[in-house]
Amino acid sequence: MGCTSVSGTGAQESSDRLESLTSWDADWAGLRVVVTGIGLSGFSAADTLIELGARVVVCDSSDSEENRAKADTLRIVGAVDVLLGAEAAATLPQVDGEAPELVVTSPGWRPDQPLLAAAAAAGIPVWGDVELAWRVRVRRGRSTAEWLTITGTNGKTTTVTLAESMLRAGGLRAIAAGNVGTPLLDAIRDPQGYDVIAVELSSFQLHWSSSLAPLASVCLNLAEDHVDWHGGFEAYRAAKAMIYENTRVACVYNAEDEATERMVEDADVQEGCRAIGFTTNTPAISMLGVVDGLLVDRAYIEQRKDSAAELASVTDLGEVVPRHLVANALAAAALVRAAGVPAAAVREGIRNYQPSGHRIELVAARDGVLWINDSKATNPHAAHAALSSFSSVVWIAGGLSKGVDYNSLVRDNAARFKAAVLIGRDSSDLAAALSRHAPDVPVIVPAAGHTGRDELPSQHSSSDGVQAMRAAVTEALRIAVDGDTVLMAPAAASMDQFPSYAHRGTAFIEAVRGIVEGQGFTAKEL
């Protein structure tokens, strides 16, 4: 059953009550809440609200076996209604026969989704799980942990996990949470507690957050992405800029990305907060940067006008060190230095760091050819970062474009391309950009059995993603010679052919290993 709008005295009382909910110990009992989604963040939000004593209804459009099992678990922990199936996401339900006072949404739900649109029309506030986590972080008068918040079009997960490693090397109990790994509410409720949480925030999560006040924050970079979700680039930019609002100690920005510096200039921060830049070049005062192959700090030392503190060597980051990895390490260092982590712990944290897969991952090397998996490059900005690390590239690319523009990516890297091998059910936008800006570069479309530009796979192609990847690797092997890099950096999402970017990356790794075995040489794993 749908619900009507909340108005008059009841609406004011509900608003006043929500404003007062700024700690775990506030009066949450009986609060009527609808939670959208029963995935990781939605389940965690529902579980938390049940523990707080709220009355909860959970809605999810998927009536899967997994979701039914989660629903059973929630019913065991407390009083909750769980609505599954397409109709559950179509209308705003009542809670115990009354209009809800609050909606807590999972980040993937778009603002124009019918249930959320109905909440907005009824004047019912919508929070994300991050907003809820911020409000319950204070318990018995004490904050559970300091927050270091990280966003950006690309590099978030690398930066947040690097920060986690540096914080732990500095002797702090720390965890990376949010849009990566552990749901933020689970970290907040950890029985032992944490000193610092490195919080990865997507633009979706920031859209549904309003009261965060982190110790330090960073937007790593800004490029076109998720314009379909936000309804346009400016809305996407505005969501990313929310990362800096109310920051207390340090707003960290990318000195090589002017948009992030403008975000800091426009942000409403707390008194005494500093702007700290990072650059892969020589740093100015109040920046971190690189000098003679060393990561250095000219921001958090007293003698910053004429000296810098050594943090680490670029080679501490690994065997293949693309420029954007250096930038991510500097951003992480700038955040943790704001939290008091010493320089020596930054180096130790970098050396202890275990990178996650599918990011500039060396899969094999033979006869001077490198085979690199960067399946995490799900948009043009990420693909550009990977492409700019190599000089002669056989590029495996394509997939679900999410409405982005490929022209600048191809134009800026045209001189690097030896050939392009296209995957994806419909890579016509990418093929068109190649034709426009790299007309002399051969374009191979294995799924079409063609080496020209005029027979692209249909959007309705039933080609299996794994088979398509094997065909792409076979074509790349035919082309690559000594000095080339075969780079799988799709510049697109994976969902048209694969369940996830990780599945796509695994398909590439397995295809390379199979072809490597067939050619009689040995793959090298990082």
Q: What is the pLDDT of residues 100-145, one digit of tens each?
A: 999 999 988 999 999 999 999 999 999 999 999 999 999 988 888 9
Q: Which of 148-152, 368-372, 452-456 has the highest mean pLDDT?
A: 148-152
Residues 400 and 226: their CA atoms lie apart, in Å, by 12
pLDDT band at 455 (very low <50, low <70, confident <90, very high): very low
278 closest CA partner among 243, 326, 238: 326
* pLDDT per residue as tens digits for the range 333-370: 999 999 999 999 999 999 999 877 888 888 988 889 99
Whether the predicted pLDDT of 409 surpasses 50: yes
Which pLDDT score, from 0 to 100, does residue 226 have?
A: 65
Question: Is residue 449's pLDDT more than 60?
Answer: no
Which of the listed CATH numbers 3.40.50.300, 3.10.620.30, 3.40.50.1220, 3.90.190.20 matches domain 361-519?
Answer: 3.90.190.20
Domains in the chain: boundaries: 27-124, 140-352, 361-519
CA atoms 243, 247, 252, 256: torsion sign:
positive
- 438-448 tens-digit pLDDT: 999 999 998 54
Could you tell me the end-to-end alpha-carbon distance of the chain, in angstroms, rounded to an integer? 54
Please check the confidence at residue 517 and state whether its pLDDT lies above 80: no
In sequence order, the β-bridge partners of residue 32 are 55
Name the helix (H) or strand (E) containing 522: none
If one counts every other C-beta atom within 10 angstroms of the C-beta of residue 315, the result is: 10
* HSE of 311, CA atoms in CB hemisphere, 13 A: 31
Does the pLDDT of residue 523 top 70, yes or no?
Answer: no
Instruction: Give the distance from CA 32 to its chain's centroid.
Output: 31
pLDDT greater at residue 7 or residue 263: 263
Evaluate whether 420 touches 395 at the Cβ level (below 8 Å). Answer: yes
pLDDT of residue 318: 84
Nearest in space to 159 (alpha carbons), one of 2, 328, 42, 348: 328
Give the model's pLDDT for residue 185: 96
Q: Residue written as tokens 């998996």?
A: 373
Beta bridge partners of 408: none
Q: Is 155 annotated as a binding residue?
A: yes
Residue 38 CA to residue 445 CA, distance in Å, equals 39
Does the annotation flag 282 for ligand binding? no
* Stretch 267-288: mean pLDDT: 98
CA dihedral 204, 205, 210, 215 (to 10 degrees): -130
**Average pLDDT, rounded, for the chain:** 90
3-state SS of 326-379 is HHHHHHHHHHHHHCCCCHHHHHHHHHHCCCCCCCCEEEEEECCEEEEECCCCCC
Whole-number Å distance between alpha carbons of 339 and 341: 6
Average pLDDT score over residue span 405-425: 96
Distances (CA, A) of 57 to 60, 86, 269: 10, 15, 36
Closest CA to 473 of 361, 394, 415, 411: 394
**Residues 245 and 180 sit within 8 Å (Cβ to Cβ):** no
Residue 379 has pLDDT above 70, yes or no: yes
Question: Residue 9's pLDDT is what?
Answer: 57
For domain 27-124, say whether CATH 2.60.40.10 is its number.
no
pLDDT(522) > 60: no
The lowest-confidence range among 13-22, 27-36, 301-310, 352-361 is: 352-361
Yes or no: domain 140-352 corresponds to CATH 3.40.1190.10:
yes
Q: What pLDDT score does 521 carry? A: 37
- Answer with the residue of higher pLDDT: 449 or 123: 123
**Secondary structure class of 143 (helix, strand, coil):** strand
Q: Is residue 399 part of an annotated ligand binding site?
A: no
Q: Is 157 annotated as a binding residue?
A: yes
Confidence (pLDDT) at 447: 56
CA–CA separation, 432 vs 410, rounded Å? 10
Q: Is the pLDDT of residue 458 over 50?
A: no
CA 182 to CA 326: how far, in whole Å?
25
Separation of CA 67 from chain center:
24
Q: 154 falls in which pLDDT band (50, 70, 90)?
A: confident
Query: 153 a known binding residue?
Result: yes
Helix (H), strand (E), coil (C) string for 408-447: HHHHHHHHHEEEEEECCCCCHHHHHHHHHHCCCCCEEEHH
Rounded to the nearest 10 degrees, how much is the dihedral formed by the CA atoms of 183, 189, 195, 199?
20
- Of 375, 410, 376, the C-alpha closest to 393 is 410
Which pTM does this prediction carry?
Answer: 0.80
Element (H, E) at 265: helix 258-266
